[in-house]
A and B are shown apart, each in its own frame.
Chain A
Amino acid sequence: MTIEKSLVDGKLTLKVSGRLDTNTSPDLLAALKCDGATSVEFDFADLEYISSAGLRVLMAAQRSVMEGNGKVTIARPNEMVRGVLDMTGLSSVFEIV
């Protein structure tokens, strides 16, 4: 898994490629720590799949931005990732674009 990180006007964008699972999710969690970010967008265009460990990172991001009324956006998930979000009820929690 690789992460491309960018912060523009308080919006943290994390482009995640590869697999987000129990082994890689700690890296993503670490990448979330960013001063001045009020909202987070996960770009999952190149994400193969996500496991519950990855979902936990998404939820952790949600919690951290909720304090500042920010929001978490999930961009361009593939069918597989979308399915996971759907089946776990998380597609209603995050804004999916």
Chain B
Amino acid sequence: MRRLAIYLAAASLYAAMLAVTWSITSRQAWEKTQSQLDFSVRDLHNTLAGAIDTMLSHIASTAVRHVGTAHFIPMDHMKEIAKELDIDELCIISREGIVISSNDPHSIDVDMTSIPVLEEFMALTNGTTTTVSQPFRPHANNPQVRSKYLGAPFPGGDGYVQVGLYEGTLQKMLPAVLGSIFDEWLLGNTGFFLCADRTTGKLFSNPSRHRNEAKTLAEAGYDVSTASEREFLADGKATGVTFVQTLFGEKCFCRAFLFAGHRFVAALPKREFFGTRTMLVSVLSVLLFGVLAAFTLSLDRIFRDSDRLKKFYAAEDERRAKDMEIAKTIQDSALPRPLPDSPCFRIEAAMQTAREVGGDFYDYFPLDATHLAFLVADVSGKGITAALYMMTAKTLIKNKLLAVRDPAAALTEANEELCANNPASMFLTAWVGVLDLESGIVTFANAGHNPPVMISGSQPAEYVRKMSGPLLAFLDDAKYAAQTVKLGIGDALFLYTDGVTEAMDEKGELFGEQRTLDALNAVETPDAHALCGVVRSVVAAFSEGLQQADDMTVLAVRYLRPPTVYSRAFPPTQEGIAAASRFLDDVLGKSAWREARVTGLGSTLHVILDEACSNIVKHSGATDFTLDIEIMDSPSGVRITFSDNGTAYDPLAHLDPDTTLPASERAIGGLGILMIKKMASSVQYHRSRSRNFLVVERTEQT
């Protein structure tokens, strides 16, 4: 639709410009034609008048010479002289201005000084004027006849001769007077003059370039009925009206005059000036067409390009939205799922993504049964690049932590790799901690991240401000130092990203660290869920209704108590039994909390373990067995669950060996189960999911 409009507009412009050009050049051509005709007709007039004057002067001079002086000559003689000179009227006027001789009786005794029209002839008597000529005028005595008079003085101005010529007479003389001057007479470059007898139309001159083409005006193409003719030399000034005729097959602008029984036609072919116009307009039309077409095409292209750009930007917007969606999905998918409830700790985290997804992330995962790793990080930048880099960083840090277990070493190694492969020059801050569930000690390393807050039940919340290492992915030889902070039973640590402290209210004020502390202090029990919740809601209230620029992440971890259950799988070998034994030592020796609950039980438990494991290894055909060691609080003691995937076997269903027999008569087997039964507070067997479970409890009271 718009294209059509553009092309229509261009076409209209083209037409308008051509029309204007056409109109301007037409007018110029018309004006030139007019002025050329004006000039030429005047030229013709002057030439014709000059030729007649020359002829009459000659006649008058001849008469002067013939008469000699101004004296009376009889009329008959005067008639003879006039006839001889081929003149209509001949008068001899005295110095006083009286017609003393004439071939016309009406003129005798006429006083030239008394007739205004004739008075100018008196100049001939001043002795210096040589000729006085008057144009053709209606004759004084016969207005039907047009006549012209010319006077020449006798020597010394002693009277003069006046000759008069009638138009009718001139008609006969004209071809002789003009001769063939018209033949070679050009009008402009291509124009010409025609002269023809008024009644017969016979051409007495033919322009040289059309010689022999026509004998009459009609044959030349002249149409009298459409011509606009006028009498010539009436006042010697008017040059007539232009009209159009087709002469010699060519359209001409003409002016025509009737004079002395002849038609004089000045013809200027239209092409003389209009040809230029046509050529100019043709050239211009081509040029203009080219320019306009090019312009229109480029305009069209510009519009189409702009359409394409608009589409492109729309697609780009869509793509960005999609990118953001992808980035959000990546970010969300990168977040860990909640861990199963543990009696030892609670961890809770939440992330609120900004409209333009930032690079916040958090993570938490057990390194083993007694170590919980957790971290909060913030990648510089936004969008999909940040999200992808965040993925990389997150995976890297997690893998390093799982491999080396120490946050400082993990960050140092992760940093090297992040620096080595960082095409987008991104960087990130991170705070990584590992909580030892046995001791409550958090070993951590900080890479330029906001300090976390320590919340203990008894003390006001405070920032854990310790030396921080540089940003990650910034210095490839950065080394991170491990630091520690101890969480007592029930204490919590609160981590966050700058989306919290840099949240803005409508006045542009930042939420800041103090408000964060205040919010955390307002929580009665530092429950992880409550800590995250209170900060999020206070920040939300603070920046109500304002779109925040950055992601906001909060993470709280609360230490509840050391772990009570330890599980491990072992191979069904002698070495597996040894490892299980070490595992038991390990578990029992872990914490004061535990030691208080297992005092004096160690050897007994070891014996039970040795018996149960030996049975499994020697008799069950299992491919693995596991131990769950649980420290019981009330009554305090230990429960060990042995499980294996061997053949179903209930050791309790067998008879105890007879221990009263002499040693030589004893069967050696079967003692182990007996010992377990005797040493344990309770023993139970069950089988489920194709596994044997032997549950042995030993409490202090036994």
Report which A residues bind B (CB closer than 8 A). Answer: 19, 21-23, 48-53, 55-56, 59, 62-63, 66, 80, 83-84, 87-90, 93-94
Contact = CB atoms under 8 A, between A and B. Distances in A.
Given A22-B614, A23-B581, A62 B664 contact: yes
Contact of A22 (B613, B659, B663, B674): B613
23 contacts: A21-B606, A21-B607, A21-B610, A22-B614, A23-B577, A49-B604, A51-B607, A52-B614, A52-B675, A53-B610, A59-B663, A59-B668, A62-B663, A63-B664, A66-B664, A83-B679, A84-B607, A87-B679, A88-B675, A89-B659, A89-B660, A89-B661, A93-B663
Q: Which of A52, A59, A80, A89 has the most CB of B within 10 A?
A: A52
A90 B671 CA distance: 11
Contacts of B577: 21-23
Nearest to B613: A22
Nearest to B574: A23
B611 interface: yes
A55 B659 CA distance: 12
B508 interface: no
Given A59-B663, A87-B674, A89-B660, A80 B603 contact: yes
A5 B646 CA distance: 39
B578 A23 contact: yes
B678 A52 contact: no
B139 to A, nearest CB: 169
B663 A90 contact: yes
A56 B669 CA distance: 9
A59 to B, nearest CB: 5
Nearest to A63: B664
Interface string B602-618: 11101100110110000
A89 B603 CA distance: 19
A50 B574 CA distance: 16
Contacts of A50: 607
Contacts of B574: 22-23
A90 B660 CA distance: 8
Interface string B489-531: 0000000000000000000000000000000000000000000
Of residues A22, A49, A59, A94, which shows the largest number of chain B Cβ atoms within 10 Å of its Cβ?
A: A22
Complex A-B, nearest 4 residue pairs according to Cβ-Cβ distance, in ascending order: A89-B659, A49-B603, A51-B610, A93-B663
| Interface core residue of B577, B607, B671, B674 (most chain A CB under 10 Å) | B607
B613 to A, nearest CB: 7
- Chain B interface residue count: which class? 20 to 34
Contacts of A51: 606-607, 610-611, 614, 672, 675
Interface string B568-606: 000000100110010000000000000000000011101
B603 A48 contact: yes
A52 B672 contact: yes
Contacts of A90: 659, 663
Given A21-B607, A51-B672, A89-B659, 12 more contacts: A19-B606, A49-B604, A51-B607, A52-B610, A55-B671, A56-B668, A56-B671, A59-B663, A62-B664, A80-B604, A88-B671, A88-B675
Nearest to A23: B578
B143 interface: no
Contacts of B671: 52, 55-56, 88
Contacts of A89: 659-661
Interface in B609-668: 610-611, 613-614, 659-664, 666, 668
Nearest to A93: B663
A24 to B, nearest CB: 9
Nearest to A62: B663
B582 to A, nearest CB: 10
A84 B675 contact: yes
Interface centre among A55, A87, A89, A94, by most chain B C-beta atoms within 10 angstroms, is A89
A87 B604 contact: no
B670 to A, nearest CB: 9
Contacts of A63: 663-664
